[in-house]
Amino acid sequence: MSHPNLLTSTREPLDVELKVKEGKIPDDLSGFVFINSGAGTVNSGGLPYERYLPDGKFNQEFGSPVINGDGYMFRFDLTEAGKVKLKTRLLKTPCFYADLGSSPILNGKDNPYADIAFKNKGLARMSMKLGTRNQINTAITPFQQPGNDEARLLATFDAGRPFEFDPDSMELITPIGENKFWRAGTPPFLQNPFPMILTTAHPVYDPETREVFSVNFTKTTKSLLKATEIFDRIFEDEESLEKRLEEKIDHWKNYESTENVVEEVNDFFYEAGAKPKKETFWEKLKAFYWRVIGHKFSNENAVYLIKWMGEKKPKAYKIVNEDGSAIEIAHNMHQIGFSKDYIILADTNFKFTLDVMMNNPFPNNEKIDSFLRDLLDGAQNDYSSLYIIPRKQLIDEKKEVMAHKVVLPLETVHFSVDYNNDDDIITIHTAHNCCACPAEWIRYYDKLKCSGELIDAQRVGMLAVGEMDIGKIGKVLIDVKNRDVLESESTFLHLTGDLDEKDPGPHTWGVGLYTYRDMLSPDKNVDKIEHVFWQAYGMSDQMLTDFMYNLYECSDRNRIYSAEEMLGFSKKGAPFILQTVETASMKVIDHYSFPNDTFMWSLQFVPSSNLNSGIVSSLNGYILCTVVGKEENSYNLSSYYSEIWLFDAKNLKRGPVVKLHHESLQFAFTIHSVWVEKALNVSIPSYKIDIRQDYNEQIKRVKGRRLRKKIQSLMDENVYPHFR
């Protein structure tokens, strides 16, 4: 069934058999595909985030990025010939139920917990009293316990610990590690029951050693401190703050120095939020902390590698530079990887930190919202730093391990690593989103750079990835012993295609997600990745905003094309594309260009069950994609469909072999995926965390008896009954 809005998503649980729209379902499909996504909040009931609530009041969530939403998991059952069965469920963490119970939208303003409810504040959903929502809406990591061949699955997020979920029922089983094991990414005085854990959305599992690796990092960069200072008071007395802030902005805009503006903004919030007659001792202490101590004694810059093999308490190693100094993460650690002898950590170019998590406090006020975005945002680095850790150093007695730092000359968000690292040469397959920013999203007041027109309302909340340079597909060889990128043996492939043609052919405008056979397999490692199937999301004058242009127009960046040249390319546009790269030659050997106004979001390799076909193993299967497309009806009105397309991996140019749909299937934006051979009921693990005990320990640390009592009541009534 089509729907009127491009960004439409349901949150309803589905148990359906998909219907064939075109083509025929192959008989040799196998296993299960899981795809993660965000699907709005407890208040929105899905997507889009509407501008107004049913009572006519402005919706505070309007304009939120689509990736700020509860995890909504898709499971495609491909085990029965000629059928594709779909099951979907929301991933309901403890903070999900706290969100549900505290919502004033659902429970009315008389709800006793309304004053501590979560709110969308940018990329994150937060409450200064409760903490940060762990939405586990990004990726999936399969793994096996030592001595047990059951396929188990983790749902993951960049700002929260991973949760294991049952692949059959799709209900959560347990978080990995107790709250007290993880180091919170927010300042030490913010003792919330739901701490923000800065980790990776892509923990990895080695089937040979049965080790799961993740990270936990903290930071004390200027952007983190300033964002935290600015918004320490912003949750209090919002109406009066908004009015006074509007009056100040015109004055601040005349300042030449951003540092002076930030200082005055901080002073303003302390003054605006101060309530001397009612201020508690704790509030005074907190203000003193920021003014006198906070700049020197906040969280440290620190990176911890987490190794876990099914214990209740994982092992943490502090990772330092070779000179013993602390590692400072500039952006995020969205992706990590591994080879036979090394763990590879990356400071990836995805700004999932407080400066963008919390720069949207008054979404209905263009003046304030645009001012704070300009003040807090900045362009991402045009390089990425890798930290390579010899696995032989990871012995139980050690607490601190040195990493070898290697700098990639381009922005990187995602990568995969060949398991084979003979002669200490690591081969990394990289996605380079050059002069693009997946952490930014389109605001309702944004204007298009190419035309000067206001952004299409249908695209509000989409990632603002109107790129400002051409993307690249990389194969990077690193000589670990010499801490060096082997430039002569590395390749950074970029293709413009022929933008004057309807089908421009293979291109790398907007390099996105990718897949290959046995990617993230819980059963086997890939010694050498031979064929990679890449998504490029193309280019459109409907996606390049003034803000993104201004953010990345600087000529000092490492770029192929100038900002002015990118305007010309954007006006011509390029479609979404699916293409096969042969890694030996680093050439595109096959591709399919999607029709105009068609979006391909996720892609996953599905092995063929026919093992004796004589086809190269890495091409013997299918590529399953999630697709959102536009269509016109007889009244010349636009509507959008959500479909599943499957391609023959060895013949993409043929087009989809089948298109599948269902009237209940609606998704706006899906993210990472995984294929597993089996998805049966799994046993209850020995490491299962007692949720009541885990969070009660957090509540004990909350300052203020009344607040502590309120939070305890919220948890007792709305959270703990769901976790027996």
Query: Residues at the annotated binding site for Fe cation?
Result: 202
Round to whole Å and give the CA distance between 229 and 236.
14
Question: Which residue numbers belong to the known binding site?
Answer: 202
Nearest to 343 by CA among 389, 274, 379: 389
Round to whole Å and give the CA distance between 404 and 482.
9
How many Cβ atoms are within 10 Å of 208's Cβ, its own excluded? 9
Token readout for 546 is 């003034």
HSE of 123 in the Cβ direction (CA atoms, 13 Å)?
Answer: 23
Contact (Cβ atoms closer than 8 angstroms) between residue 676 and residue 167 = yes
Round to whole Å and give the CA distance between 233 and 657.
55
Contact (Cβ atoms closer than 8 angstroms) between residue 656 and residue 23 = yes
Nearest to 547 by CA among 444, 433, 411, 431: 444
Contact (Cβ atoms closer than 8 angstroms) between residue 627 and residue 643 = yes
Contacts of 19 (CB under 8 A, 6+ apart): 660, 661, 662
Contacts of 16 (CB under 8 A, 6+ apart): 85, 86, 662, 664, 665
Angle between helices 238-252 and 258-273 (to 10 degrees): 150
Residue 197, phi then psi, degrees to nearest 5: -105, 115
SS (H, E, C) 23-66: ECCCCCCCCEEEEEEECCCCCCCCECCCCECCCCCECCCCCCCC
Q: Determine the distance from the C-alpha atom of residue 437 to the mean position of all C-alpha atoms in its chain, rounded to a whole number.
A: 12
Q: How many angstroms separate the Cα of 400 from the Cα of each of 73, 303, 319, 685?
A: 37, 10, 6, 29
Nearest to 527 by CA among 418, 656, 617, 603: 418
Query: Exposed e or buried b for every residue in 507-536, given b needs 16+ CB within 10 A?
Result: bbbbbbbbbbbbbbbbeebbeebbbbbbbb
Contacts of 377 (CB under 8 A, 6+ apart): 355, 356, 359, 440, 551
Round to whole Å and give the CA distance between 358 and 222.
15
